Amino acid sequence: MKKIIIAVVTSLLAFLLCSCEKTDSYEIKNRYIVQGIGIDKAQDGGLTVSFQLINTDAASVSSAQDSPEKPTKCYSVYASSVSQAVSLLSNDLGKRLLLNQNRILIFGRSFAQDGIGRVLDEFLRNTESRFTVLCAVSDKTASEIIFAQLGKNIVPAVQCEKMLSAGDAYTVETELYQAVNCIYDGRRDFALPLLSLSRNEEAEKINCTGTVLFYGDRAVGTVSRSTSFGINLLLKKQSSGIIDVKVENSTVSYEIVITKPEIICVNTEGKPTFELRLKARLKITEISTEKGAADNVPSLEALSAAAEDALKSSIEKSVTECIIKVSGDTLGLADIYNKTAKSKARIDNKYLKSFDTKITVKISIVNSGDFSANLYGGRKYEQF
């Protein structure tokens, strides 16, 4: 009897564990791995969605006369929504698209100006989508970045991801969830890096040429990379990047070790004032003087003052470009004001222009090399 019961239970478990549903379509061999997605506006109001897929058919060739296949396959699909585009391409290829490996989401400039909010729902509802995918705007169309030919065995999406996540002080890095949060909570605006495609005789190249500012979900203006530097200084702890500053008759290269930004709102004589404070630790990597002699090296005070002026100038430029010219609250000043005033109403960005700003930059220099003794003189520096 005991053996019969064991046999019945075993059979029942085997039946329950064996799925009757066909699952072959979910295996990697039956999927196309998405590396990049680009979204452009079609002429009739629809979408042109471009996909960059890993070429799973590419294999090493044994014959030297045969040329290897390209590492990616790219397709553009016309559709009314991103989810429809995914479905249409899956049907055409006979394989489902695997979205959780996507590295970058690119919006064409024209589409970004009309508003990107209408396509974000697909990425929020689809459980395969990554909320941490990096976002960018193309100087022209998203499709040209997706279809870029960067050279042998180079995947454009991988190249873009590396470039945008390298920690460059002049490149804004924004992930999908950050943009979505800004759009839907309405408490601050955001910025996306601007990508452009250049061509030479050998191959094409993708460059980050600036930053696109958003108001709500619409792109409202473009600023230079130097302005992007000021935005980065105020929004995050920067731990990498090189800046070049002219100091007396020398050009000095500073490496950013760490920055610590702080933005507070104070009430000065009944008028709100934003205090933008930055502490930064820099390392001098190179001093290029006219004669190259140690006697021509600027003093430590001059090096510190020049660095402070350069960082302060970058912050001033970011405030001017974002708040005064574009009226985009990329720095989140309205949210800081509301928290200080204990208000929930969103301040019109144009009203921010009437507020005063006070910028304070404090530099601490660390160094190594032949000039260390001349620069330091045993002086100690504040830690933060």
pLDDT in tens, 89-119: 999 998 888 888 899 999 999 999 999 999 9
250-268 and 271-288 beta bridge pairing? antiparallel
Mean pLDDT of 289-307: 73
Domains and CATH numbers, the chain: 28-223 (no CATH), 232-384 (3.30.300.210)
CA atoms within 13 A on the CB side of 31: 15
Over range 151-177, report the average pLDDT: 88
How far apart CA 207 and CA 220 sit, in angstroms, is: 21
pLDDT at 217: 92
Other CB atoms within 10 Å distance of the CB of residue 305: 14
Q: Where is mean pLDDT largest: 328-332, 362-366, 369-373?
A: 362-366
Check whether 378 has a pLDDT greater than 60.
no
Q: Percent of the chain scored above 70 by pLDDT?
A: 79
Q: How many residues does the chain have?
A: 384
- Taking 60 as the threshold, does the pLDDT of residue 292 lie above it? no
Residue 71 has pLDDT above 70, yes or no: yes
* Residue 250 vs residues 59, 242, 280, 303, 313: alpha-carbon distances, Å: 53, 16, 21, 10, 19
Dmax (CA) for the chain in angstroms is 100
* The predicted structure's pLDDT at residue 211: 93
pLDDT in tens, 202-240: 778 899 999 999 988 999 989 888 888 888 898 888 888
pLDDT at position 65: 45
Q: Provide mean pLDDT across the span 355-377.
A: 69
Residue 298 has pLDDT above 80, yes or no: no
User: What confidence score (pLDDT) does residue 168 get?
Assistant: 83
pLDDT of residue 369: 52
pTM score, two decimals?
A: 0.80
pLDDT band at 380 (very low <50, low <70, confident <90, very high): very low
Select the more confidently predicted residue: 280 or 378.
280
Higher pLDDT among residues 337 and 314, named by residue: 314
State the average pLDDT for the chain. 81
To which residue do tokens 């090399």 refer? 369
pLDDT above 70 for 37: yes
Strands 134-138 and 191-199: parallel
Q: Each residue of 121-130: pLDDT tens digit?
A: 888 888 888 8
57-61, 150-154, 269-273, range with the lowest pLDDT:
57-61
8 A C-beta contact, residue 350 and residue 326: no
User: Which whole-number Å values give the CA distances from 73 to 11, 54, 253, 273, 334, in the listed order?
Assistant: 46, 6, 42, 53, 44
